[in-house]
Structure 1
Amino acid sequence: MKNASAAYEYHDRTKHRPHRYAPSLGYMDWATQPDPFRTYPECARIGLAHDNTTPPFHLLFAAGMLPRAPLCLESLSGLLRYSLGLAAIKRHGGSEWALRCNASSGNLHPSECYVVSPPLEGVSEKCTLSHYASRDHALEIVHTYDAPVIEGGFLILLSSAMWREMWKYGERSWRYCQLDAGHAYASIKTAATMLGWECSIVPSDTADLARRFGLDQLERFHPQERESPDLLIRIAQPRHSLPYPPPLARANRLSPSHHQWDAVWEIDEAALGPYPQPEPLNRVRRCPAPSKSAGEVILKRRSAQAMDGSSVTETQFRQILDASFFCTEAPDVDFIVFVHRVEGIESGLYAYVRDPGRLPQLRDAMDPDFDWLEAGEGLYRLNRGDYRGAAQYLSCNQTIARDAAFSFGMLCRFDAVLAESGVPGYKNLYHQCGMIGQMLYLEATSLGLSATGIGCFLDDEFHTLLGLSGTPYQSLYHFTVGRAIVDTRIATLMPY
């Protein structure tokens, strides 16, 4: 693929190394901290209803068990509430901050959501393009179409206001924007499943999406706050034909001033084009035992800040790994697992091979001295021993990777994907990892455990540990699961 070189250059440039982290500001410039909420002040707003009735979490994974909700405003409200809405408001001292249902790097939330709807009672007698304002759980009507452009479902565009991540993470921030887009997609798919709706990614050219949703109208945004199209999602089975819109309303400004990170805009420009459609993973996750309501699980999902060093059971461990198979759109990802404290499983370094057909290639690519001792259900022990120190070191010395019951890196097919799809394929790999991360967050929460996604890790040191050379595989996201230490000084408030 002709533009794959841009992905290789950016990926290497933004790797963390023991002697040098990826370029960033190096401190928190609080004077330019972005507004976490995008709004369109000129647009009409429609408040959405709050419905706390949700099905049991385990039924989301039992085919055909949930009824199909009607295509109405109340159902759309539930979809947005339990995917991209606020989960809680946190308060400590004189500060308050919002937590959302979808996980985000640094709780910075670059992902924005635009909905194309058919005529809906309570919204309009015509088809509309709306922006979801999560702070107030409302729709902002950005455009009303003259023609009937959609029927039988909804379209959702996810885009990234990348400045929110650039502010803290500098050049590496593009990686985190893509992980967050994956989190957001899995959140939407989960909420759609609660409503009995199909949810899938629409094959699209992202440059064309920018035009059809008005994101190419650069005058609508501050130059450093413009949004980048990530992926288009269909809800139910809509029939649609979107025209190019007229000039649309201006967005609010997020920061009074900005720092420039050219490398982020360059890789994002290179990633525009046909969004890849990898062959879906031919695996189905098992239906877990009954636990809590889906709404309770989603609203209680948190990113743990510290773990208490306790163990989990083998059943919990395997159930969390199995939850990744809900993400059939993520076929190119396997796990390298640091097992610290899992009852019934010896501590050590393991591979969790999500696609059995990939096993021979993984074995050939890694250290020839690894054991590859089969441990059941796609799990293989590579080496026994205490890897707590290694996990902490590789996770930028974060103790949460050591004190968890287990942690892991998501190892992706890299060279082959970039050869097939270029920079859009590179982007999609991060989306795949983010999808998986969101589902593992929810599964851990359903079991009374906690999890945290880790974007700060030493890329090549992790690869060296595995004996990998070259770039046939690269680790793009790390994750840790255990029991959180809760900071009782922080109050939790209802968000709406």
Structure 2
Amino acid sequence: MSDSRLATVLAYHARSKHALDRYAAGPGTLDWDAQPAAFRDWAGTQRIALPRDIAVAAIPWGEVAAGRPAVPPDSAGLGSFLRLCVGLTAWKEYAGSRWSLRAHPSSGNLHPTETWLIAAGVAGLDDGLYHYHNLHHALERRAWGTPVRARGACLGFSSIHWREAWKYGERAFRYCQLDLGHVLAAVSYAAALQGWRPRLLNIDTVGAARHLGLDRAGDFAGVEQEEAEVLVALETDVVLPPDWQHWAGKPGLLDPRPLYRWPVIDEVAVATRGAPPVAGAASADTAVCRSDCAADIDAVEVILRRRSAQAFDGRSTMPAGVFRRLLTALLPGGSPAWKLWPHPARVHPLLLVHRVEGIEPGLYALPRTAAAKGMLQSVLRDTFSWQPADPGLPLFQLVAARTGKTARTLCCHQAIAAEGAVTFMLLAEFAGPVAADPAGYRHLHWEAGMLGHVVTLEAEAAGWRGTGIGCFFDDADHELLGLPDNRFQVIYHYAVGMAVDDPRLLTLPAYEAEEEGGHG
């Protein structure tokens, strides 16, 4: 069975690659008026509005990871926390179209990740399983009633694959997993600000589906299924309740007329089910308090104003201090994200440097573990120089060259990859982890998404901006790097630059009017 799962994963990864002469299978056309609904309603549930106030303020960005008293984990604390990690941050409007932005980015702004809350003994909330409705900043009570006393709060996450597949076809499963990584990193930053210490629960996908009610097939008859991903305890001693006695609600249909089907996504989803990785040698307790930030910008402001860049100016040079802070945050202990993900690093940034103060344009490597440097040297092109490029960071120059045209070509000919200051290629230790556990395919993408989220927040804090690039030519990347096989694979690109905003776009508040307290 394990061999069969592995074969399914490897086959999926190969067939979902983009190539210079063809793209992975996707829809032949898009009807933007028929885009799947951006939010899922659970009809027939009680809706409970959450407080919208942010519980923390005046925390400088450089002190995000510093210890602080915990905000009470009651309904007000949860309302603040959810706003900072999965809530809406603004609305954009242009030419009669209106769309929302959230505290975490998503490929195509499609947001396949759904958020769940299991509450037991939480002040201000009845015990139960709740679906978080981003649009209303409210909880929909899905289940309740348990004979055994439990306590604590736990988040659950699931993916609706069709939200991404509608636009991106077979490659969509990758994007759903990268999105989940962004969400996990967003959770880690929001929790750090509130003095909470979240952790991934060692519960496999089947167990997570049971706890979230996603294995109740009858409830999803005729609508898009949700794939359970992971459970995150918001308290270290959380106790999950047993099965609920009472259930309510039906999920809304997101797309009444889907034009395509991509069965390979369901196949790889089944093949990659499993438990999160077990914590290893990396420290979950390392905290970096970086008071060297260029300005004492408020951390909440950074999170709520974060945007994905749509264009860069193509000329701004990144200051050396900003560049070093950004890279430091990607290393173990450099960000709150690595408290939630206390596992040995398996995804390593390669950098196409375009315009950075004091750094010669070229290709660079940032191995995130000591062992990774040796592994990368053994598989990357043997002509790479591996010259140390920074006295305090494991940054190595591989090739000195102008990289703009290369970045643009590799990233599906997108100009934004060349017009920033630096473009990251996130290279994963691939064959070994996936062979050891096919669920590792998900986890590698989560780690890459977390790295992307760290990049985007650090850039935002410094007055720059990031954008994820999921469209790239996989094997053209590997040819550039000289990779002979699949021991390593590039699984994400990320670009950082000085953003050029479109003045035609109107920005509106995330939550303007009070919502009603329930619905039928």
* TM-score band, normalised by shorter chain: over 0.9
In the TM superposition, residue 148 of structure 1 has moved relative to its aligned partner by 4.4
Equivalent residues in 2 for 1:261-276 (5 A)? 261-276=262-277
In the TM superposition, residue 223 of structure 1 has moved relative to its aligned partner by 4.8
Q: Which amino acid aligns with 1:237?
A: T
Give the whole-Å Cα distance in 1 for the aligned partners of 2:255 and 2:221. 9
| Structure 2 unaligned spans of 5+ | 512-520
> Matched residue of 2:409: which SS?
helix
Which among 317, 323, 333 is matched to residue 329 of structure 2? 323
Which among 457, 475, 479 is matched to residue 460 of structure 1? 475
Matched with 1:345 is 359
> Matched residue of 2:427: which SS?
strand
Matched with 2:492 is 477
In the TM superposition, residue 318 of structure 1 has moved relative to its aligned partner by 1.4
Give the whole-Å Cα distance in 2 for the aligned partners of 1:161 and 1:78. 25
Q: Structure 1 residue 305 and structure 2 residue 306: aligned? A: no
Any conservation in 2 of the 1:311–1:343 contact (CA below 8 Å)?
yes
Give the whole-Å Cα distance in 2 for the aligned partners of 1:73 and 1:171. 39
Matched with 2:509 is 494
Matched with 1:59 is 63
Any conservation in 2 of the 1:110–1:162 contact (CA below 8 Å)?
yes
Give the whole-Å Cα distance in 2 for the aligned partners of 1:242 and 1:84. 24
Listed one character per residue, the Cα deviations across residues 17-68 of structure 1 (whole Å, up to 9, x for unaligned) are: 0111010003212353111101112111111112244332222122x2x211
Give the whole-Å Cα distance in 2 for the aligned partners of 1:438 and 1:31. 30
Which among 403, 408, 418 is matched to residue 387 of structure 1? 403
Matched with 1:287 is 290
In the TM superposition, residue 204 of structure 1 has moved relative to its aligned partner by 1.2
Q: Which amino acid aligns with 1:131?
A: H
Q: Which amino acid aligns with 1:130?
A: Y
Q: Structure 1 residue 5 and structure 2 residue 7: aligned? A: yes
Question: Comparing 21-30 with 360-369, which one deviates more in the overlay?
Answer: 21-30
In the TM superposition, residue 230 of structure 1 has moved relative to its aligned partner by 0.9
Percent identical pairs in the alignment equals: 37
With over 3 angstroms needed to count, the CA separation of the structure-2 counterparts of 1:16 and 1:224, relative to structure 1, is: farther
Any conservation in 2 of the 1:58–1:287 contact (CA below 8 Å)?
yes
Cα RMSD over matched residues? Answer: 1.6
Any conservation in 2 of the 1:219–1:250 contact (CA below 8 Å)?
no
Give the whole-Å Cα distance in 2 for the aligned partners of 1:222 and 1:90. 34
Give the whole-Å Cα distance in 2 for the aligned partners of 1:106 and 1:419. 31
Any conservation in 1 of the 2:90–2:509 contact (CA below 8 Å)?
yes
Give the whole-Å Cα distance in 1 for the aligned partners of 2:218 and 2:34. 21
In the TM superposition, residue 272 of structure 1 has moved relative to its aligned partner by 1.6
TM-score, normalised to structure 2, is 0.91
Listed one character per residue, the Cα deviations across residues 429-466 of structure 1 (whole Å, up to 9, x for unaligned) are: 00111111112111110000000000000000001101
Give the whole-Å Cα distance in 1 for the aligned partners of 2:25 and 2:223. 18
Matched with 1:138 is 138
With over 3 angstroms needed to count, the CA separation of the structure-2 counterparts of 1:95 and 1:378, relative to structure 1, is: same
Any conservation in 2 of the 1:281–1:355 contact (CA below 8 Å)?
no
In the TM superposition, residue 198 of structure 1 has moved relative to its aligned partner by 0.2
Any conservation in 1 of the 2:26–2:167 contact (CA below 8 Å)?
yes
Listed one character per residue, the Cα deviations across residues 368-422 of structure 1 (whole Å, up to 9, x for unaligned) are: 1100001120100000010110000000000101000000110000011012212
Q: Structure 1 residue 450 and structure 2 residue 455: aligned? A: no
Q: Structure 1 residue 251 and structure 2 residue 266: aligned? A: no
In the TM superposition, residue 163 of structure 1 has moved relative to its aligned partner by 0.9
Matched with 1:26 is 28
Give the whole-Å Cα distance in 2 for the aligned partners of 1:84 and 1:199. 15
Q: Which amino acid aligns with 2:124?
A: G
Matched with 1:365 is 379
Listed one character per residue, the Cα deviations across residues 258-305 of structure 1 (whole Å, up to 9, x for unaligned) are: 221101111001112233225253576552435211211011111101
Q: Which amino acid aligns with 1:386?
A: R
In the TM superposition, residue 129 of structure 1 has moved relative to its aligned partner by 0.8
Any conservation in 2 of the 1:150–1:238 contact (CA below 8 Å)?
no
Q: Which amino acid aligns with 2:362?
A: G
Matched with 2:99 is 97
